[in-house]
């Protein structure tokens, strides 16, 4: 890989790293806000002179849950793009639109091996989980043919939600466990922390501005 190509790929990887870390930052802020408002709500409800209008105002301050799924989708897409830059698709190599030796040189230059959480050889890989979201229409059609209890877009510790994963017909479609920081799709579970840590390490190698590293809850 020539120096010019190397700079181009590092620049694009840097852009995708920033997208991952920005999504992480937004998710952290979302759950911090939820925790703070939840505590205020409990404190207000426990007061002997509880003001119903104050409770109503606090409930209205809770952020939209759709923001979580937007950020998760953005994070998975950007992480999968990084993966494809480092491990090209076989079909692209066959069509000569990507160079296998060049990709190997890029990985060696960035000190990344096949054990990386960004690797397509990890099961489930970040690409697989991204595909579950990107091609949800085909997953949904397959589910509809098989039938079962439709459980989708829940947020919460997976073990604390009654009915989930009791049998094959009650597998969650899309689920986020904020305690484990895990994205779950049916019987696949992807832990996001290792992916984000790998991206943060990679971001340092391609020299981009770093977002705050929030402590794990």
d(CA 69, CA 217): 20
pLDDT at 79: 98
Angle of helix 126-134 relative to helix 66-86, nearest 10 degrees? 130
Using CA atoms, how far apart are residues 155 and 30, in angstroms rounded to an integer? 12
Phi, psi (deg, nearest 5) at residue 177? -100, 100
- Cα separation of the two ends of the chain: 41
Residue 31 C-alpha from the chain's centroid: 14
DSSP-assigned letter for residue 52: H
Whether 107 is in a domain gets the answer yes
Q: Is the dihedral of CA 84, 89, 92, 97 positive or negative?
A: positive
pLDDT for res 167? 57
Structural domain including 32 reads: 3-205
Give 3-state DSSP helix, strand, coil % of the chain, rounded to 5: 60, 5, 35
215: in domain: no
Write out the chain's pLDDT in tens, 217 residues. 788 899 999 999 999 999 999 999 999 999 999 988 888 888 888 888 888 888 888 888 888 889 999 999 999 999 999 999 999 999 999 999 999 999 999 999 999 999 999 999 999 999 999 999 999 999 999 988 988 888 899 998 887 766 665 555 667 889 999 999 999 998 899 999 999 999 999 999 997 544 444 445 4
State the pLDDT at residue 159: 77
The total number of structural domains that make up the chain: 1
Whether residue 151 is contained in a domain is answered as yes
DSSP state of 47: S
- Give the pLDDT confidence score for residue 2 in this predicted structure: 86
Q: What is the predicted pLDDT for the residue at 3? A: 87
Residue 214 within a domain:
no
| Residue 104 covered by a domain | yes
Strand order in the sheet with 175-177: 154-155, 175-177, 182-185, 188-191
Q: Is residue 212 part of a domain?
A: no
pTM: 0.86
Task: Give the helix/strand (H/E) hosting 199.
Answer: helix 192-205
The answer to whether residue 216 is domain-embedded is no
In the chain, DSSP assigns E strands to 154-155, 175-177, 182-185, 188-191
175 C-beta neighbours (distance < 10 Å), count: 22
């Amino acid at each position: 890989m020539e120096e010019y190509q190397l700079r181009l790929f590092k620049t694009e990887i840097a852009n995708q790293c920033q997208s991952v870390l920005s999504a992480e930052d937004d998710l952290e802020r979302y759950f911090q806000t939820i925790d703070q408002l939840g505590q205020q709500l409990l404190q207000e409800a426990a007061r002997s002179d509880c003001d119903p209008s104050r409770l109503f105002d606090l409930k209205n301050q809770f952020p939209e849950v759709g923001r979580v799924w937007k950020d998760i989708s953005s994070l998975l897409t950007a992480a999968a793009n990084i993966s494809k830059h480092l491990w090209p698709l076989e079909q692209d190599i066959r069509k000569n639109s990507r160079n296998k030796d060049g990709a190997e040189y890029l990985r060696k230059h960035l000190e990344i091996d096949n054990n990386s959480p960004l690797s397509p050889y990890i099961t489930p890989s970040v690409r697989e989980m991204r595909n579950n979201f990107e091609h949800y229409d085909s997953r949904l059609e397959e589910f509809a043919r098989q039938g079962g209890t439709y459980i989708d877009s829940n947020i919460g510790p997976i073990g604390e939600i009654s009915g989930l994963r009791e049998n094959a017909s009650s597998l969650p479609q899309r689920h986020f466990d904020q305690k484990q920081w895990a994205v779950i799709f049916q019987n696949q579970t992807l832990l996001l922390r290792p992916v984000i840590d790998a991206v943060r390490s990679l971001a340092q190698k391609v020299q981009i501005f770093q977002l705050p590293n929030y402590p794990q809850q």
